[in-house]
């Protein structure tokens, strides 16, 4: 940065985080919206009446699309740029949501959900990579937690909207609203979202990179020569000796977290409906699940920045297991709502912090690739979540079995986080990595 360069503008950082958060809010809405229409599709009040198994399968279609989108687009974004990918994904899933709203058959509805998932899957690693780059190095987990809390805001928006909209306008209106939200965000992102400064540096656009770094206060990280090769080299680097154990463990931890997130968001309202709650109250549990994540995740992100990601994420999985287990007991409604809020903070919130942990594990030039593959492979857990919950609900084992079934993966997640090795993704290649290395070795 030259002596004549203007000082970094913290407001510009906030714009980047706000735009990424807005994309994640719509991403969260577009995913959670399916859970809000499940009771309507299941009780015969819609034009289609679907059984638990079919509902679970359709719920997984979007997640299969997200698996493909996260792995493919997460790798591409390290090669073609974050901005271009973000804009394309917003346009993609907005169109797909409109197609879902207008689908004349169950089969076409499922196909539209799959197509939407591809765009939704690409947004997540791109938004995290941009946020981690433009966040202050000492507050990356906190900033990412605030940004990704947009997922839960989207869930709450979907839940509140469903309570008012479905009885008045029907379930299809929920998907039209998602399409409109994406259409509103696209021109704002086009005008205000910057490119990754480190991506520009990697592509030899040094002057543009330096200008962005000066404006936003970004520390440029010099990438090794191999980072300038194609996608095969980027993917191969995930399996180098220094990254291999972490790569595999982050895949497992992400998968467990996403199984909990999508399993609970798909089935919690229906489980509570079968437990005797009316539709409005059952949807309120879904709202509280996401509200708990909004309130708890930023606080836990601050804890991760101070104490390290490993103890915080492992501990959150343990608390998730306990709170979900306690939901199986006959307790007063106020206590059940409190436990659901804790479960939201420690399932959705834990997954958000695992994403930040994963991003910090890798250097800037392979960050989106590492995130994309963790989220892509982890989508296997997300795909299994609705199917898993549907199978338990259809088994006839009783309401309690649903909660036992979701407590077990949370225990697995805690053990996975506990055994992740000291981070070796940061090297002395420069910038943020060198400054943060000593702190992150204890994580």
Per-residue pLDDT tens for 136-171? 767 777 888 788 878 778 877 887 898 889 888 888
Predicted local confidence at residue 91, as pLDDT: 93
How far apart CA 29 and CA 157 sit, in angstroms, is 7
Give the per-residue pLDDT at 441: 35
User: Tell me, what's the pLDDT at 189?
Assistant: 92
Inform me whether the pLDDT recorded for 428 exceeds 90.
Answer: no
Mapping DSSP onto H, E and C, the string for 307-321 reads HCHHHHHHHHHHHHH
Q: What is the pLDDT of residues 4-18, one digit of tens each?
A: 444 455 677 788 888
User: Is the predicted pLDDT of residue 228 greater than 60, yes or no?
Assistant: no
Return the higher-pLDDT residue of 185 and 145: 185
Query: How many C-beta neighbours within 10 Å does residue 380 have?
Result: 18
pLDDT greater than 80 at residue 424: no
CA-to-CA dists, residue 287 to 36, 117, 146, 152, 424, angstroms: 10, 22, 18, 9, 38
**Taking all residues of the chain, what is their mean pLDDT, rounded to a whole number?**
79
Q: What is the pLDDT of residues 362-373, one digit of tens each?
A: 776 677 778 778
Average pLDDT over residues 299-312: 84
Amino acid 430: pLDDT:
34
User: Structure pTM?
Assistant: 0.70
**pLDDT attached to residue 443:** 42
Average pLDDT value for residue range 73-91: 82
pLDDT tens-place string over residues 311-334: 999 999 999 999 888 887 777 778
For residues 271 and 217, what is the distance between their CA atoms, to the nearest angstrom? 48
Q: Which of these, 1, 106, 9, lies nearest to 57 by C-alpha position?
A: 106
Q: How many residues are given for the chain?
A: 443
| Averaged pLDDT, 378-389 | 81
- Better-predicted residue by pLDDT, 336 or 79: 336
- Residue found under tokens 């991403």: 27
Give the model's pLDDT for residue 221: 64
pLDDT for 426: 43
* 353 neighbors 300 (Cβ within 8 angstroms): yes
pLDDT score of 4? 47
């Amino acid at each position: 940065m030259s002596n004549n360069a203007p000082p970094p503008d913290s407001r510009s950082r906030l714009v980047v985080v706000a735009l990424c958060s807005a994309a994640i809010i719509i991403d969260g809405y577009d995913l959670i919206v399916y859970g809000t229409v499940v009771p309507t599709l299941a009780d015969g009040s819609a034009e289609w009446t679907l059984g638990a198994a079919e509902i679970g399968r359709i719920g997984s279609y979007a997640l299969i699309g997200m698996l493909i989108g996260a792995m493919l687009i997460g790798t591409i974004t390290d090669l073609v740029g974050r901005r271009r990918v973000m804009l394309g994904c917003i346009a993609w899933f907005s169109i797909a949501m409109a197609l879902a709203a207008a689908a004349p058959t169950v089969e076409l509805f499922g196909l539209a959900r799959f197509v939407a998932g591809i765009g939704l899957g690409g947004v997540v690693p791109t938004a995290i990579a941009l946020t981690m780059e433009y966040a202050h190095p000492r507050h990356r987990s906190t900033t990412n937690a605030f940004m990704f809390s947009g997922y839960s805001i989207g869930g709450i928006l979907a839940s509140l909207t469903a309570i008012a909209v479905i009885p008045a306008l029907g379930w299809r209106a929920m998907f039209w609203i998602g399409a409109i939200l994406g259409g509103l965000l696209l021109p704002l992102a086009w005008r205000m979202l910057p490119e990754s400064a480190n991506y520009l540096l990697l592509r030899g656009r040094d002057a543009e990179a330096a200008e962005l770094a000066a404006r936003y206060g970004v520390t440029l990280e010099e990438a090794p020569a191999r980072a300038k090769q194609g996608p095969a080299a980027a993917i191969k680097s995930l399996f180098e000796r220094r990254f291999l154990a972490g790569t595999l463990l982050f895949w497992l931890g992400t998968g467990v977290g996403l199984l909990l997130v999508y399993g609970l968001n798909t089935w919690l309202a229906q489980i509570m409906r079968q437990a005797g709650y009316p539709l409005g109250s059952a949807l309120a549990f879904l709202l509280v699940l996401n509200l708990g994540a909004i309130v708890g995740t930023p606080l836990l992100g601050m804890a991760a920045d101070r104490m390290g990601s490993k103890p915080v994420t492992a501990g959150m999985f343990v608390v998730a297991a306990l709170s979900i287990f306690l939901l199986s007991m006959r307790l007063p409604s106020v206590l059940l709502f409190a436990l659901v809020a804790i479960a939201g903070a420690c399932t959705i919130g834990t997954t958000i912090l695992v994403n930040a942990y994963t991003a910090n594990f890798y250097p800037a030039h392979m960050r989106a690739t590492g995130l994309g593959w963790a989220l892509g492979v982890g989508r296997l857990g997300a795909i299994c979540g609705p199917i898993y919950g549907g199978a338990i609900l259809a088994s006839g084992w009783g309401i309690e079995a649903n909660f036992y079934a979701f407590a077990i993966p949370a225990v697995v997640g805690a053990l996975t986080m506990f055994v992740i090795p000291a981070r070796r993704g940061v090297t002395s290649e420069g910038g943020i990595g060198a400054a943060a290395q000593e702190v992150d070795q204890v994580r």
